[in-house]
Amino acid sequence: MTTFSISRCARGLRAPNTVNGTRAIRRYTDRIEIRHDISRFSTTPYMLNKVGIPATPPPQHPKPFSLRPYMELARVDRPIGSWLLFMPCTWSITLASQFAGAPISTWLTNLALFGAGSFIMRSAGCTINDMWDAKIDAQVERTKTRPIASGEVSYPQATVFLGLQLAAGLAILVNLNTYSIVLGCAALIPVTIYPLMKRYTNWPQIGMGLSFTWGSMLGWSAIAGSCYWPAVLPLYASTTVWGIAYDTIYAHQDKIDDARTHVGSTAQVFGDHYTKPALVVFSAVWMALLAYAVHNASPLFPWLSDAELGELTWDQYIDLTLATGHPFFCMAWLATAAHVAWQIRTVNLNNPRDCFKKFASNRTVGLIIFTGLAADYLYEQKYAPYKHQRSASRAAPHA
C-alpha cells in the first residue's frame, strides 16, 4: 500500500491561506482512513490510486495441474501398504493352487492380477481414509502435509480420483469368476467402515485387519471357484490377527497426537507397558491359526494323520511328505517365528522411526511364508510325479 506525499501536505501547510492547509491535512487524513478501513475487511493487499480509491487487485492465475499430490494421496512413495495387502493373497493363491492341483500358469496369472489389484485397491483405501480423516490429519504432525489435509487436493478432486481408482480395480476384478467378483465387491464394506472405527472405538486395528487381509479369501476362490471354508476361515482369521499385531506397532508412531485428538488405537489400549505382551499373544494366535489352515488344506505331514501309512519305509515317508505335505512351509514357519520374536524384542515403542521400521519388516514375514508355500507347491508340480514313480518301483520287488 502507498503512503501520501509528505511534501504535498507540507505545501498545503505553507500556503498563505491557513484554511487551505487545514483542508489539505483533512483530505489526506481521510484517504488514510479509507485505506485503513479497506485493509481491515480484506486480506488482499489493495493498492490505492492517486485519489485514494482502491485499485483492482491483480488476477489470480490457477495452479498448473500436477500429478504429484495424487501420487502422494495414493502413497506411491510408500509401497509397504501394497505389500502387506498382497501377502495374504499370495498365501491363499498358492495354498489353493496346491489344494486344487492348478497348473503353474494359473498360479502365476493370478499372482500378477492380485499384485496389480493390491496396488490399486490399497491406493483407493488411502484415498477413502484421507477423505474421512482430513480434519484429524491436519492436527497430527506426521500427517498434516497429506494432500487433502494440506489443501493441495480438494474433496471433489479426491472423489473423482477415487472413482478412477475403483474403476481400475473393477477392471481387474471382472477377470475373476463370478463367486470372486461378488466376494471382492463385499470387501468395500470393511474398507469403508475402517476409518470410522478410530472415531468410536479404541480398536480400529480390527477394522484394518479385516479389510487389509480380505485377499486371503479372495485368492482361494479365484483359483478354486469357491472357498473351502475349513481352510479359508482359519486362514482369514490368521491374517486378520497378524494385521492387528503389526498395525499396533504402527499406531505407536502417533499415540501422542491420537490422545490429543481423541482418536482411538490399540497403542492407547495397551500402552507402553502391555503392548509387547499383547504382541506375543497376537503373534502366537495368528501363527497357530496359519498352521491349522495349511494343515486343513492338506496335512503338514501326511504320515502323522493316516495310521495306514505306518508300514512305509523311511524313503517313502520322505517322498510322501515332499509330494503331498508342507515341509518347506514348516521351515518357513519356524523362520517366521524367529523373525517375529526379533521384532517384538527389539522394537522401541517410543521411537516413531523404529516403529515404522519394525512395521515395514512384516513384508519379510509375508515373503518368508509365501516362499515356503510356493516351494511346497512347485515341488509337487515338478517333482511329485517322478517321486511317485520311484516309490512304486522300489515297492515292486517287495510285492
Sign of CA pseudo-dihedral 267, 269, 274, 279 = negative
Confidence at residue 231, expressed as pLDDT on a 0 to 100 scale = 96
Confidence at residue 230, expressed as pLDDT on a 0 to 100 scale = 95
**Residues 205, 296: Cα–Cα separation, whole Å:** 27
pLDDT in tens, the chain (399 residues): 444 444 444 444 444 445 455 555 455 445 544 444 444 444 444 444 545 555 555 555 566 777 788 888 888 888 898 999 999 999 999 999 999 989 999 999 999 999 999 999 888 888 887 887 777 778 777 778 778 888 778 888 888 888 898 899 889 999 999 999 999 889 888 877 887 887 788 898 998 999 889 999 999 999 999 999 999 999 999 999 999 999 999 999 888 877 777 778 888 889 889 999 999 999 999 999 999 999 999 888 776 655 555 566 667 667 777 777 788 999 999 999 999 999 999 999 999 999 999 999 999 999 999 999 999 999 888 766 544 443 343 333 333
Confidence at residue 310, expressed as pLDDT on a 0 to 100 scale = 57
- pTM of this prediction? 0.75
The answer to whether 329 and 287 are in contact (CB under 8 A) is: no
The CA-atom distances, in angstroms, between 104 and each of 233, 297, 299, 329 are: 25, 18, 21, 18
- Closest among 97, 131, 130 to 220, alpha carbons compared: 97
The CA-atom distances, in angstroms, between 329 and each of 100, 232, 284, 306 are: 18, 17, 17, 20
**Residues 221, 129: Cα–Cα separation, whole Å:** 27
Q: Got the DSSP string for 287-342?
A: HHHHHHHHHHHS-SSHHHH-GGGGG--HHHHHHHHHHHS-HHHHHHHHHHHHHHHH
Three-class secondary structure of residue 138 per DSSP: coil
DSSP 119: H
Confidence at residue 125, expressed as pLDDT on a 0 to 100 scale = 80
Three-class secondary structure of residue 345 per DSSP: helix
Q: Name the percent of the chain in helix, strand, coil, to the closest 5.
A: 75, 0, 25
DSSP 54: B
150: left (phi over 0), alpha (psi -120 to 50) or beta: alpha
- Bridge partners, 54 (sequence order): 48
The answer to whether 290 and 369 are in contact (CB under 8 A) is: yes
The CA-atom distances, in angstroms, between 58 and each of 30, 40, 43, 176, 338 are: 25, 19, 14, 56, 65
